[in-house]
Structures are given as structure tokens and as C-alpha cells.
């Protein structure tokens, strides 16, 4: 779906390289492949063994970095970050990687996720005299590391990681080492690969393909990897707990060409569409998917139902951030910037419109209206995930529960509000089985808290959803 109008946004993507003379360029290309995870800002920090160098800015990767800038970022290792910033949280100082200098050397951090006890830790640090320069959770970790400076760095990082709770995939870099950590439940994806003799780390495996790197494995929950010129070493900072990877990564966030835990995202989405067709069949003439992330599920629905898949909706790919958006008045006159219905396909037809999820319902309402205006006789909406009824505390902007249409309305009420002729969602069991098939489905279960309310970590009394912060 179209994140910017849907209100469902991933917060970040991270990428790192160790041991390559073109590390900044490789990180640039890696981040470009992760651009769907954040479009508001990007940064790269490199090390040449002597010093860290940083470049960052607002915007898309190609807007932030020029060729000259990348050349200036010399060094054999880099970490990079793409960021989705929320209202009041988009200042330059919050763009990552964060870079700190001290007498003992530099420290750079890049983080994907959200810490549920960040506020409590911030209060504690400030009470003890720390001055925080950003509103980012990530800075808390830097302060915790620095406070444990009596310990060797590796232990200081472990000590800091043991104090934070929530979802985090971290890259930490000093002049001579890179540290890679995944939270004890592995809520956010993080993979290790190699390119010749160099190590690469990425939020998603699609970035490995772009630079010609080979995938090796996932970073285990609770694992700390230490990468340096001496090699790679794996340590644990937490006892093994069953992984609860975010199910929305499969449903919506990750690119279809990425593999998560060895499972291809496109294939998983197709299975979701297939299960949806089995759970909620409907008599119709064509199946169409809302571009881009719902196409795979729509193909699965079409294959399982025998109803032909057609391109009933087209996305305009060239609407940039700075494009002049139509006024409300022009919008009402039918000026549609991002999505169009294909009249020749849907006119006079009973259409199944497959979407990956519904957040506020405003986008679904617009698309149903668009299809009907293009002549669709009936529009049956099929959602390839369960209703989102609870906010996410782990780094995904699912708005506050007041804005989640499924938190406050029954399926019948949503159907009426979006103007659909019928509406059905995939069940929680159907989603779980589509991701983790067969035997695996009995053993595994990713995080499904936004659907079920069963949060895999404790939620602190003062945990505020990042988008509810004052």
C-alpha cells in the first residue's frame, strides 16, 4: 500500500559493511534498496581505522548524498541508516547514525525499532546529570555505553543492551570495530552476509542482492556480533528466547524480494492471499491488488479462487516528496496523484480488491470510491491480515488506538464506512499458517500484538507510543 496516505510506516532500515575499500558506496546502494523503510532522512558513518566520518541529511538517499560526498567518506567500513521521522521528531539531530566524540574515541549508532523503557531510562540518565541532545531513543543507548566506560567497550555495550527493552536491531561502530545486535526476541529483521572477504549486515536481504553479496544467516535474538580486521566473533547478551519477528514485516513492510528467516516475502504474501480466498470466498469477475505490497496477496487470492487477476489499479511512481499536492478542492474534482483505477478493466465488473491491511480506513474508502467511479459494479474488499486493533510499541507507526478503525468498529461497521459491498479479513491463524507453514506453524509465532494485543515484551506503565508523545 501507499504508506504516506495509509498511516502505516516502518521507522528505519540499517546497513553496514566491514572490510571493503568502497564501503560508503556499497552502503549507499544498500540503503537505496532499503529506501521503502524510511524516506525522511539518511546517513552514513565510515571509519578508516583512525577516525569516524559522518554525512547525513533530510530526504531520499539520492537527495542526501552527492558523488563527491561519498568520495569524502573514505574508509573500509561503514554503517548507514534510512529513517522515517514522525511529527515533532524530524530534526536534523535525530537523523542517524548518531555520532559521538569523546576522549576515548568516536562512537556511531544506527538503530531500527523502538525501546519501550526509553522514557524511564532517559529520566534516570537526566537525573544523574546526563544531557541528551536528541529526542531519539538511540541516544539513550550511547549514554548507557559511555556510563559503563570503566568496562572494556564490548562489555559496556553488553551492559547497555541488558538495560534496554523493546525492539532493536543495532549497528554500533568505533574506529576499529563494528558491533551488531538484535534484541532478545528478534522483533526486527537483521541479516548477515558477505561480499568476497567483506562482511555486510542489512535489515533486509534485498540489499545483499543489489550489491552482489551472499546471504549467510540471520542475527540471532540476543546475539552480539563483533566484526573487526581480526575477524568476526559471536557473543550472547541474553539467554535464548523464541524469536517473535514482527508479522507486519511479512504482511507489508519488507520488500517482496527479501527473505525473512529464510522465507521469501512474496511467497508468504501469496499464501496469505490463498488462505484469504479459502476463508472468505466471493462471487466476482476480477481480482486486483492495491500496489505495491498487496499485489502478491492478490495473485495468491486469484490463483486459489480461479478468478482472473487483473491490473485494476495503477500507481503513479513519479510523485516525489516535493511534488505540489492538489488542494482539497482539486482533490474533490478528481485529481488523483498516487493511484488510478483502470476503467477498461473494472467497468461493469464485480471486483475483489485485495489490500494488505487497513489502518485508519480513509485510503480504503478512497480506493473503493475510485473503483466505483471507474464503473465497477461491486467492490469486495479482502484484507490479507487480521484487523489492526492495537498500537505497536516496537517502532511501527500504527497511529494511536483512537485512529485505528478496527479498534473502534466491527467488520460490518468498517464495511459500511469504506463503502464496500463486502469486507473480510484474514484470521490470525490464517496469517500464522501462511508465514510459518506445516509443522513450523505449530512451533512458531511471530509478534502479532497489533492484531491480538498479546505483546511479547512487558509494556511499561510510562511506555507511550512514540506518536502519542507530547
For residue 298, give Cα distances in angstroms to 9, 258, 312, 452: 21, 18, 11, 24
Nearer to ligand SF4 among residue 246 and residue 371 (C-beta): 246
Question: Does 45 engage in binding with ligand SF4 (CB under 6 A)?
Answer: no
Using CA atoms, how far apart are residues 421 and 380, in angstroms rounded to an integer? Answer: 5
Q: Which stretch binds ligand SF4 (CB under 6 A): 70-78, 151-159, 192-200, 390-398?
A: 390-398
Among the listed residues 378, 214, 203, the one whose alpha carbon sits nearest the alpha carbon of residue 286: 378
Contact residue for ligand SF4 among 247, 268, 296, 463 (CB under 6 A): 247
Nearer to ligand SF4 among residue 371 and residue 396 (C-beta): 396
Nearer to ligand SF4 among residue 224 and residue 448 (C-beta): 448
Contact residue for ligand SF4 among 64, 392, 407, 426 (CB under 6 A): 392
Nearer to ligand SF4 among residue 18 and residue 252 (C-beta): 252
Least CB distance to ligand SF4 at residue 361 (A): 17
Q: Which stretch binds ligand SF4 (CB under 6 A): 83-91, 303-311, 321-329, 445-453?
A: 445-453
Q: Which stretch binds ligand SF4 (CB under 6 A): 133-141, 195-203, 266-274, 446-454?
A: 446-454
Using CA atoms, how far apart are residues 59 and 65, in angstroms rounded to an integer? Answer: 10
**Cell triple for residue 112?**
531500527
**Cell triple for residue 155?**
562489555
Question: Does 467 engage in binding with ligand SF4 (CB under 6 A)?
Answer: no
Question: Does 449 engage in binding with ligand SF4 (CB under 6 A)?
Answer: yes
Collect all residues with Cβ–Cβ distance below 8 Å to 429 and sequence separation of at least 6: none
Contact residue for ligand SF4 among 18, 81, 450, 466 (CB under 6 A): 450
Using CA atoms, how far apart are residues 236 and 374, in angstroms rounded to an integer? Answer: 57
Question: Does 394 engage in binding with ligand SF4 (CB under 6 A)?
Answer: yes
Q: Which 149-188 residues touch ligand SF4, going by CB under 6 A?
A: 187
**Cell triple for residue 430?**
490464517
Residues 278-302 as b or e (16 or more Cβ within 10 Å = b): eebbbebbbbbbbbebbbbbbbbbb
Handedness of CA 259, 264, 268, 270 (dihedral sign): positive
Nearer to ligand SF4 among residue 114 and residue 364 (C-beta): 114
Least CB distance to ligand SF4 at residue 444 (A): 14
**Pairing of β 41-47 and β 191-195:** unpaired
Q: Binding site annotation covers 247?
A: no
Question: Does 435 engage in binding with ligand SF4 (CB under 6 A)?
Answer: no
Strand stretches in 174-321, DSSP E = 178-182, 191-195, 198-202, 214-218, 223-228, 231-236, 259-260, 263-264, 286-289, 313-315
443: burial class by Cβ within 10 Å (0-12, 13-18, 19+)? exposed
For the annotated catalytic residues, the residue numbers are 12
**Pairing of β 98-102 and β 396-397:** unpaired
Nearer to ligand SF4 among residue 394 and residue 425 (C-beta): 394
Q: Which 184-243 residues touch ligand SF4, going by CB under 6 A?
A: 187
Nearer to ligand SF4 among residue 136 and residue 254 (C-beta): 254
Question: Does 396 engage in binding with ligand SF4 (CB under 6 A)?
Answer: yes
Question: Does 8 engage in binding with ligand SF4 (CB under 6 A)?
Answer: no
Any idea what DSSP says for residue 468? G
Q: Which 60-119 residues touch ligand SF4, going by CB under 6 A?
A: none
Least CB distance to ligand SF4 at residue 205 (A): 18
Least CB distance to ligand SF4 at residue 390 (A): 7
Q: Binding site annotation covers 206?
A: no
Contacts with ligand SF4, 340-369, as mask; x by CB under 6 A: ------------------------------
Using CA atoms, how far apart are residues 38 and 404, in angstroms rounded to an integer? Answer: 21
Question: Does 246 engage in binding with ligand SF4 (CB under 6 A)?
Answer: yes
For residue 258, give Cα distances in angstroms to 5, 210, 220, 267, 357: 24, 11, 18, 10, 19
Using CA atoms, how far apart are residues 446 and 425, in angstroms rounded to an integer? Answer: 18
Q: Binding site annotation covers 293?
A: yes
Number of residues in contact with ligand SF4, rule: CB under 6 A?
11
In this structure, what are the phi and psi dihedrals at residue 93, rounded to the nearest 5 degrees?
Answer: -65, -20
For residue 208, give Cα distances in angstroms to 29, 90, 178, 436: 10, 28, 18, 24
Residue numbering of the annotated binding site: 246, 293, 355-356, 392, 447, 450
Instruction: Tell me which residues touch ligand SF4 (CB under 6 A).
Output: 187, 246-248, 392, 394, 396, 447-450
Q: Residues at the annotated binding site for [4Fe-4S] cluster? A: 246, 392, 447, 450
**Binding residue ranges for Mg(2+):** 293, 355-356
Amino acid at each position: 500500500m501507499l504508506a504516506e496516505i495509509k498511516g502505516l510506516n516502518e521507522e528505519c532500515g540499517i546497513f553496514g559493511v566491514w572490510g571493503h575499500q568502497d564501503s560508503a558506496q556499497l552502503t549507499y546502494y544498500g540503503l537505496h534498496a532499503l529506501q521503502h523503510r524510511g524516506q525522511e532522512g539518511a546517513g552514513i558513518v565510515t571509519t578508516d581505522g583512525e577516525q569516524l566520518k559522518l554525512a547525513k541529511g533530510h530526504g531520499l538517499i539520492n537527495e542526501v548524498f552527492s558523488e563527491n560526498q561519498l568520495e569524502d567518506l573514505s574508509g573500509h567500513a561503514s554503517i548507514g541508516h534510512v529513517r522515517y521521522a514522525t511529527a515533532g521528531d524530524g530534526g536534523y539531530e535525530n537523523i542517524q547514525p548518531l555520532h559521538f566524540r569523546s576522549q576515548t574515541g568516536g562512537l556511531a549508532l544506527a538503530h531500527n525499532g523502538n525501546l519501550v523503557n526509553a522514557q524511564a531510562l532517559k529520566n534516570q540518565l537526566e537525573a544523574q546529570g546526563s544531557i541528551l541532545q536528541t529526542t531519539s531513543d538511540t541516544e539513550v543507548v550511547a549514554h548507557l555505553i559511555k556510563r559503563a566506560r570503566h568496562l572494556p567497550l564490548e562489555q559496556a555495550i553488553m551492559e547497555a543492551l541488558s538495560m534496554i527493552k523493546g525492539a532493536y536491531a543495532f549497528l554500533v561502530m568505533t574506529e576499529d570495530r563494528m558491533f551488531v545486535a538484535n534484541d532478545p526476541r528478534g522483533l526486527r529483521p537483521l541479516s548477515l552476509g558477505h561480499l568476497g572477504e567483506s562482511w555486510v549486515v542489512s535489515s533486509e536481504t534485498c540489499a545483499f542482492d543489489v550489491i552482489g553479496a551472499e546471504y549467510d544467516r540471520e542475527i540471532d535474538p540476543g546475539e552480539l556480533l563483533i566484526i573487526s580486521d581480526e575477524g568476526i566473533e559471536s557473543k550472547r547478551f541474553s539467554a535464548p528466547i523464541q524469536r517473535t519477528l514482527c508479522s507486519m514485516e511479512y504482511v507489508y513492510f519488507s520488500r517482496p524480494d527479501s527473505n525473512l528467516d529464510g522465507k521469501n516475502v512474496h511467497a508468504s504474501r501469496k499464501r496469505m492471499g490463498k488462505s484469504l480466498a479459502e476463508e472468505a470466498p466471493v462471487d466476482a469477475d476480477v481480482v486486483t491488488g492495491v500496489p505495491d505490497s498487496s499485489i502478491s496477496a492478490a495473485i495468491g487470492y486469484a490463483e486459489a479462487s480461479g478468478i482472473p487477476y487483473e491490473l485494476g489499479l495503477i500507481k503513479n511512481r513519479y510523485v516525489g516528496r516535493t511534488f505540489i499536492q492538489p488542494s482539497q478542492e482539486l482533490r474533490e474534482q478528481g485529481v488523483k496523484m498516487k493511484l488510478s483505477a483502470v476503467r477498461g478493466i473494472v467497468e461493469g465488473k464485480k471486483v475483489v480488491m485485495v489490500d494488505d491491511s487497513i489502518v485508519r480506513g480513509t485510503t480504503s474508502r478512497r480506493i473503493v470510491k475510485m473503483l466505483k467511479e471507474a464503473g465497477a459494479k461491486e467492490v469486495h474488499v479482502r484484507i490479507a491480515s487480521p484487523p489492526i486493533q492495537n498500537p505497536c510499541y516496537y517502532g511501527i507507526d500504527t497511529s494511536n488506538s483512537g485512529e485505528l478503525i478496527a479498534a473502534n468498529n466491527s467488520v460490518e461497521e468498517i464495511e459500511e464506512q469504506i463503502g464496500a459491498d463486502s469486507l473480510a479479513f484474514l484470521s490470525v491463524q490464517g496469517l500464522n499458517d501462511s508465514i510459518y507453514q506445516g509443522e513450523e506453524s505449530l512451533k512458531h509465532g511471530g509478534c502479532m500484538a497489533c492484531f491480538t494485543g498479546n505483546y511479547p515484551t512487558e509494556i511499561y506503565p510510562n511506555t507511550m507510543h512514540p506518536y502519542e508523545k507530547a
